[in-house]
Amino acid sequence: MRMLLIHAKDFWYKAKEKAVDEADELTADNAEKAIENVLVVFTSIEESDENNIDVVIEKAVNNIISVFKDVNASFILIYPYAHLSSYLARPSIARVILNKFAQRLAEEVGREIVYKAPFGWYKEFKLHCYGHPLSELSKQISVTEEERKKRIIEKKYLILTPEGALLNPEEYKFDDPEFKILVEKEVFRKEVEGGQGRVYQYLKKFGFEWEELSDKGHMRLEPHATIMLEAVTAYSWRVANSLGIPVFRVRGTNMFNLQAEPVKQHAELFGERMYEIKMDSERFVLRFAACYQQFSILKDWILSYKDLPLGMFEVADSYRYEQSGELVLGFRLRRFHMPDLHILTKDLEDAKAIALKVREKIVEEAKKVGREYLAIYNVAEDFLNTNFNYIVELVRNEGKPVLLVVYPSGIYYWVINVEYVIIDELNRPREIATWQIDVGNAQRFNIKYVDEKGNEKYPVIVHTAILGSIERYIYMVFDTLAKNERHGVSPTLPLWLSPIQVRIIPVAQEHLDYAIKVAQALLSKGFRVDVDDRNEGLGKKIRDAGIEWIPYVVVIGTHEIKTNTLNVRIRSKGIQKVMPLDELISLLETEVEGYPKVEMAMPMLLSKRPALSYIQQLKSPH
């Protein structure tokens, strides 16, 4: 906000012609006015004010009151004046801010003292400035990072046990060291040591890397990483469909106009984490998840109570403007993929029932990769008071205490928002999955359904990312392997997630044709198979397969061809076994049951791959 303050002996203006469509309505009281001994506040509202409205207004009010008292003026006139800045806010927003500005001033000094000239009009005016040292002052109101942090909402921390006991974190006796780490970080703000553990090395090994030609926080994915991302993406759709409700998969844009009121209102909740771009004098926000696109589609659907519950799903490329110093490869990113599921329900009670199923599925999927979550329950105070037994039921199902964070009612669009957290290999809390019950966005985006009596109603929406973001799910898988490796277990990816599931190694060149025939048989079943046809020794080929964590390594020599068998090394069990091809296929099918099959991302023959990319894969520790 920029202001030019003039202490005027007398000031007169008259509105002449509308300048913008969003202009104030003229009335007998504001169309023309003459005032004596007035502090005229010529005011420009800027782009940066839109995300910090309350703080900017408070600072401006304090500044004006101080000058008002110093010059001993009788009145204050807020005079919209766009010419003070080249970086103006949108007219619709500027008008709102100016009205709030005048209202706050009136609350402080009296409604009979504060006037506001109409916004959005060309006006003629006459001004007689007193000319004393304080009669002409310019002010620029901006918000510091420290002031932004002061906007943090007051909240209360408690620990809720499965028995329904509410306890003070300061007095709680911890018997779970990981839960203690979580509470100390969230409640007591205990600093967690940084550094890069084995997960970072694993990610680099499989081709998850920062893209240095982009903005910070953006990754590039080499072939192995690409397969893993595609596999989890496909699996997230299966998981969404496993809840027993109809789910519709959609696709959409990642860019939404901040001029649209529902987008603006929703985006304001994220404050400085908004990732914005400007084009053709308009501002756009890159979406945080799939909410905007799915809600935009749903508002156009004609829905009946018979259609609910109904799910809509998209793996959305999502953007959050994380602080550069907090970026973590594979975990805290500015651009990531969110498998977002929104479930429309008739009312809060139906939403609560769906949320129980969602919670169960979230926990089940974590257990499949060998993890158990800790939980943070963020709840609105009124929801806690009226639904305490339901929250206790949820915690009883968790089977362990949760950190309960109580927010003032009406701050957010949700009444309960649950975060599921792991403690990673370096003892840092890492949020993975989430769900929430949303009671505000249906009305904000005008999503409706018709009830049994023919009345239009707004559904209650359950948001969830059952696996977490695609990247964070992969992070959790690698973190589990890192923890296991500390206990002497060789890291082995789940077969469905392994970039190469089977490697065929011919002992000599004369065995290559048979090796390719076996590989093609496996490829026809949907498995990712390659053939090491390089001119290298058998020992080196087997070692290289181990470095890439290939789950199944098949060695083919003269004996295998004669006996029509395969010599199979199974990494997860650390054993070597001779079996026919049919038995290997059966073994692989059993292991990937329930998971998607994703095609190869590289040529089948290792000799066709550039030496540099292959060597790069081998650089990381195994």
pLDDT tens, 175-193? 999 999 999 999 998 887 7
Q: What is the distance between the alpha carbons of residues 560 and 367, in angstroms, rounded to a whole number?
A: 39
615 pLDDT higher than 50 = no
For residue range 455-507, list pLDDT tens digits in order: 999 999 999 999 999 999 999 999 999 999 999 999 999 999 999 999 999 99
pLDDT tens by residue, 427-461: 999 999 999 999 999 999 999 999 999 999 999 99
Band (326; pLDDT cuts 50, 70, 90): confident
Phi, psi of 500 (to 5 degrees): -115, 120
pLDDT of 613 higher than 60: no
What per-residue confidence (pLDDT) applies to 152?
Answer: 53
pLDDT (average), residues 115-141: 94
The pairs formed by 58-63 with CB atoms below 8 angstroms and a separation of 24 or more are 58/104, 59/141, 59/143, 59/147, 60/1, 60/3, 60/101, 60/139, 60/141, 61/101, 61/104, 61/105, 61/108, 63/3, 63/139, 63/141
247-249 and 32-44 beta bridge pairing: unpaired
- Amino acid present at 45: I
For the chain, the average pLDDT equals 93
DSSP 532: -
Upstream peptide bond of 246 is cis (omega within 30 degrees of 0): no
| Average pLDDT of the segment spanning 193-209 | 91
CA nearest neighbour of 298 among 288, 287, 312, 308: 312
Q: Provide the b/e sequence for 217-236 (b: ≥16 CB within 10 Å).
A: bbbebbbbbbbbbbbbbebb
Q: In the prediction, which pLDDT does 270 show?
A: 66
Closest CA to 269 of 293, 288, 297, 290: 288
Is the confidence at residue 244, as pLDDT, over 70?
yes
Give pLDDT tens digits for 515-524.
999 999 999 9
- pLDDT tens, position by position, 45-104: 998 887 778 889 989 999 999 999 999 999 999 999 999 998 888 888 899 899 999 999
pLDDT at 622 over 50: no
User: Judging by DSSP bridges, how do beta strands 335-345 and 310-319 pair with one another?
Assistant: antiparallel
Q: Sheet holding 255-257: strands in order across?
A: 255-257, 282-286, 275-279
User: Has residue 249 got a pLDDT over 70?
Assistant: yes
Residue 150 reports pLDDT greater than 80: no
> Which among 446, 545, 528 has a CA at the least distance from the CA of 492?
545
Return the pLDDT at 89. Answer: 86
pLDDT band per the 50, 70, 90 thresholds, residue 412? confident
Structural domains in the chain, CATH included, are: 2-149 (3.50.80.10), 156-220+247-253+287-478 (3.30.930.10), 495-619 (3.40.50.800)
- What's the mean pLDDT in 520-537? 97
* Full-model pTM: 0.80
Question: Per-residue confidence at 283, pLDDT binned at 50, 70, 90?
Answer: confident
Q: Which of 219, 291, 272 is nearest to 475 (CA)?
A: 219
135 HSE (CA, 13 A, CB side) = 13
For position 621, what pLDDT does the model report?
47
Structure tokens at 457: 């109603």
Question: How far is Cα 403 from Cα 171, in angstroms, rounded to an integer?
Answer: 13
pLDDT (mean) for 300-307: 97
